[in-house]
């Protein structure tokens, strides 16, 4: 078995992508060119997100590696060892043409994780439905108090399973609406506060100077790209200082 890098170089940094040019190019995959006929390569991914991992279980990007084996049985045996030690990893086995021939994962741990997640979703849904039903009931009682023409006897439908299912669904939808409105209100308040901070931190003269960013990012001149990065870093620093207040 031997380990090789998946990519031929490192991914560009945020500053390099901002500046553009040759430094912003993404590296190409080179692992398949190193797989000889009859050999099999194994790549490692996170079971939930599909992001690259290494055989040690850690998330990877530029440092992503794959293992190359002389035969399929060795690739499978090593993959089973990896997923046993790090159950969040799924192993994908490829032949020298790049075709995927097998997938190895820790089915026991993944099924256990799925069971726990589905249980949490059901419990959370039931709790939210009950909470929404309670809110509807409180609003209903308040309405009875302020509406002299309404009585509890007039408003009660037959207590059937359809009634309770509809009641639970209405409670769930009502609570979702409350959470959504609360979320929208929080975002609006946060954005307004951030806008006020930024307007107070950046003077009109500085805004006019930072407008140069709109034209510099299109330039291929190395000097312009260098000035773009410097100006962008200064602008980001201004934003960070404003948001700390």
Q: Are residues 150 and 98 in the same domain?
A: no
Q: Are residues 181 and 117 in the same domain?
A: yes
Tokens coding 90: 């799924």
Nearest 5°: the CA angle 210, 214, 217 is 110
pLDDT at site 106: 94
Question: For the chain, what is the domain count?
Answer: 3
CA–CA dist 80, 91 (Å, integer): 8
Last residue of a domain, one of 84, 105, 126: 105
Q: Are residues 137 and 180 in the same domain?
A: yes
Q: Are residues 231 and 190 in the same domain?
A: no
Tokens coding 105: 């994962």
In sequence order, what are the beta bridge partners of 45?
Answer: 52, 90
pLDDT at site 162: 80
Cα separations in angstroms, 53 against 83, 92, 138: 12, 11, 50
- pLDDT tens per residue, the chain (245 residues)? 899 999 988 888 777 776 666 667 788 899 999 999 999 999 999 999 999 999 988 888 788 999 999 999 999 999 999 999 999 999 999 999 999 999 999 999 999 999 999 999 999 989 988 998 898 888 888 877 777 665 555 555 556 778 788 888 988 899 999 999 999 999 998 888 888 877 777 778 888 888 888 777 767 777 877 788 888 888 888 887 877 76
pLDDT at site 19: 67
pLDDT at site 22: 65
Residues 6+ away with beta carbon under 8 Å from 47: 87, 88, 89, 90, 105, 110
Q: Are residues 54 and 143 in the same domain?
A: no
Q: Are residues 240 and 180 in the same domain?
A: no
Range of the domain at 225: 204-244
Q: Are residues 6 and 65 in the same domain?
A: yes
Last residue of a domain, one of 86, 105, 124: 105
Q: Are residues 98 and 54 in the same domain?
A: yes
CA–CA dist 143, 135 (Å, integer): 12
């Amino acid at each position: 078995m031997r380990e090789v890098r998946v990519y031929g170089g490192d991914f560009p940094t945020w500053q390099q992508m901002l500046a553009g040019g040759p430094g912003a190019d993404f590296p190409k995959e080179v692992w398949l060119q190193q797989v000889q006929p009859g050999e099999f390569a194994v790549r490692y991914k996170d079971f939930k997100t599909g992001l690259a991992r290494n055989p040690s279980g850690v998330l990877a990007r530029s440092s992503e590696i794959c293992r190359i084996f002389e035969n399929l049985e060795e690739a499978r045996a090593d993959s089973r060892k990896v997923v046993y030690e790090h159950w969040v990893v799924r192993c994908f086995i490829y032949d020298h043409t790049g075709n995927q021939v097998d997938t190895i994962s820790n089915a026991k741990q993944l099924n256990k994780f799925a069971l726990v997640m589905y249980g949490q979703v059901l419990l959370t849904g039931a709790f939210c439905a009950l909470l929404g039903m309670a809110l509807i009931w409180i609003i209903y009682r308040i309405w009875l108090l302020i509406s002299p023409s309404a009585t509890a006897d007039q408003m009660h439908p037959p207590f059937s399973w359809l009634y309770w299912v509809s009641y639970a669904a209405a409670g769930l939808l009502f609570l979702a609406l409350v959470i959504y409105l609360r979320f929208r209100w929080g975002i609006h308040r946060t954005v307004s506060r951030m806008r006020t901070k930024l307007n107070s931190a950046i003077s009109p003269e500085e805004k006019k100077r930072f407008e140069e960013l709109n034209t510099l990012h299109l330039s291929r001149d190395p000097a312009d790209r260098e000035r773009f990065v410097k100006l962008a870093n200064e602008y980001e620093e201004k934003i960070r200082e404003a948001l700390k207040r």
